[in-house]
Amino acid sequence: MEVPSGKLPDIRHRMVKANGISMHIVEQGEGPTVLLLHGFPEFWYSWRFQIPALAEAGYHVVAPDLRGYGQTDAPKSSQLYTSCHLVGDLVGLLDALEEKRVFVVGHDWGAMVAWDLCLLRPDCVKAVICLSVPFFPRSPKGSSIKGYYETLGEGFYMCRFQKYGRAERDFARIGTTATLSKFLFPPRTSFIAPKDKELMDSIPMPKKLPQWISDADLRYYAQTYEKSGWTGALNLYRAMDKSWEIKAPWTSVGVKTPALFIAGDKDIVMGFPGVKAYVGRNFKSFVPNLKEIVTLKGGHFIQQEQPERVNELLIGFLNEQTLASSSKL
C-alpha cells in the first residue's frame, strides 16, 4: 500500500518493537517529539494534515498505528487491548525512540489512550492535547459500556461492537468503502440501530465526499482496512469492561498534565448523554491544568475538517509548553 501520489513525500515508515508487538510508525521532522494517536475507524494517515505542519514548526512527529490497526500487530484476544496494553505499547515506543518524555496529541480512541498515558504514566508526558474525547475519571458504578447499555440501549454502536463477529459481518455485507463512508462522514445520525436492524442499515450513506477527503484518500483507507480487517480495531471496544476492572486503583483520580481540549460543535461525542454538561461543569476539576476548551465549527474528525485552525492551536500550545519546559531548566 502506497500513500496517495504526491502526499507526504518526506515521511519515513518503520517498524519498531514495543511491548511485545511490532508497531508501525510514521515519522517526520527533528526537534521535541510529538506522538499523534489516531482514532476509529482510522490509522496514522488521519494525521496527514498535521504531520508536515508540526515537522515544519520544529518538532519530531511520530504517528503510530495503534495496536490492532493498520500495519501494527493485532493480537487475537480482545483481552489484550486494555488500557494497560495500549499504554504499555506507548511506553515501549518511547523506549524504542530513546525518549523519556514527549508531547502527546490524541483524537477519539487516541484521545482515550493519551489520557490513560497521562493517568498511568504521567512521567512520560510533557503536555497533552486531546480532540473530541474529554478525560472521564473511572466511575465506581461501572464501565462506560454498562452505562451505554442502560442509557442508549443495545443498538448503540459501541454496544453492538461487543459481540465478536457481528460488526465484522455487518461491515463485510456492505463492503469496506461503504462502511468507512458511513462512519467518516455520515449525515446527522445517532449511531443507534433498532433491534430488528443491523447498524450499517441504520446509518445513511453520504451523497458525496466532504472537501477534507479525496477519492484517493478514501481508497487508501479502504486498502488499509481490507488488509488489516476490522477485528483488531473493534477489540479496543471489546476490552472496555476489562479496562474498567483493572483501573480500579485510579477510581475518581484526575490528570494533572498540562492539557488542551479541542472539539467540533457537531461532534457526535459531545452529543452523548451528559457529555456537554460534564465538559462545561466538571471536566476542569479532574484536569486542573487544562488551559482551554476550544470548540470549532465541525464534526467528529475535526483535525481533518479544520486542519489549518487545528494546526495553529497545536503549534501554539506546543510552543508555549516547550518554552515553559526550557525556562525551568
Task: Tell me what the mean pLDDT of segment 150-169 comes to.
Answer: 96
Half-sphere exposure of 239 (CA within 13 A, CB side): 25
Percent of residues, the chain, with pLDDT higher than 90: 92
- The secondary structure of 25-79 as a DSSP string is EEEE--SSEEEEE--TT--GGGGTTTHHHHHHTT-EEEEEPPTTSTTS---S-GG
> Does 4 map to a domain?
no
Q: Are 51 and 11 in contact (CB under 8 A)?
A: yes
pLDDT the model gives residue 327 = 64
C-alpha torsion sign, points 182, 183, 188, 193: positive
Q: Is there a cis peptide before residue 249, judged by omega within 30 degrees of 0?
A: no
Poorest-pLDDT segment among 93-97, 125-129, 184-188, 321-325: 184-188
Rounded to an integer, what distance in angstroms lies between the CA atom of residue 221 and that of residue 71?
12
pLDDT tier at 324, thresholds 50, 70, 90: confident
pLDDT the model gives residue 194 = 94
C-alpha torsion sign, points 280, 275, 132, 209: negative
> Does 257 map to a domain?
yes
pLDDT the model gives residue 328 = 65
> Does 317 map to a domain?
yes
Q: Are 212 and 307 in contact (CB under 8 A)?
A: yes
CATH number of the domain within which 29 lies: 3.40.50.1820
> Does 1 map to a domain?
no
The total of other beta-carbon atoms located within 10 Å of residue 273's CB is 12
pLDDT tier at 5, thresholds 50, 70, 90: low
pLDDT tens-digit map of 18-77:
999 999 999 999 999 999 999 999 999 999 999 999 999 999 999 999 999 999 999 999
pLDDT of 188 strictly over 90: no
pLDDT of 255 strictly over 60: yes
Between helix 231-238 and helix 166-174 the angle, nearest 10°, is: 140
**CB-neighbour burial class of residue 234 (10 A; exposed 0-12, middle 13-18, buried 19+):** buried
Task: Tell me what the mean pLDDT of segment 179-190 comes to.
Answer: 87
**Looking at the 3D structure of the chain, how many domains does it have?**
1
pLDDT the model gives residue 187 = 73
Helix (H, G, I), strand (E, B) or coil at 23: strand
| The residue count for the chain | 329
pLDDT the model gives residue 212 = 96
List the grid coordinates of 33: 517529539
Q: Are 270 and 297 in contact (CB under 8 A)?
A: no
Rounded to an integer, what distance in angstroms lies between the CA atom of residue 97 and that of residue 91?
10
Rounded to an integer, what distance in angstroms lies between the CA atom of residue 244 and that of residue 251?
9
- 211-220 burial: b if 16+ Cβ within 10 Å, else e: ebbeeebbeb
> Does 7 map to a domain?
no
pLDDT tier at 124, thresholds 50, 70, 90: very high
pLDDT tens-digit map of 215-245:
999 999 999 999 999 999 999 999 999 999 9
**CB-neighbour burial class of residue 239 (10 A; exposed 0-12, middle 13-18, buried 19+):** buried
> Does 302 map to a domain?
yes
Q: Are 172 and 267 in contact (CB under 8 A)?
A: no
In sequence order, what are the residues at sequence separation of 6 or more whose Cβ sits closer than 8 angstroms to the Cβ of residue 141?
147
Tell whether pTM > 0.85.
yes
pLDDT the model gives residue 190 = 78
Q: Which domain holds residue 284?
A: 12-327
What integer best gives the mean pLDDT of the chain? 96
> Does 3 map to a domain?
no
Active site amino acids: 108, 237, 300
pLDDT tier at 91, thresholds 50, 70, 90: very high
> Does 50 map to a domain?
yes
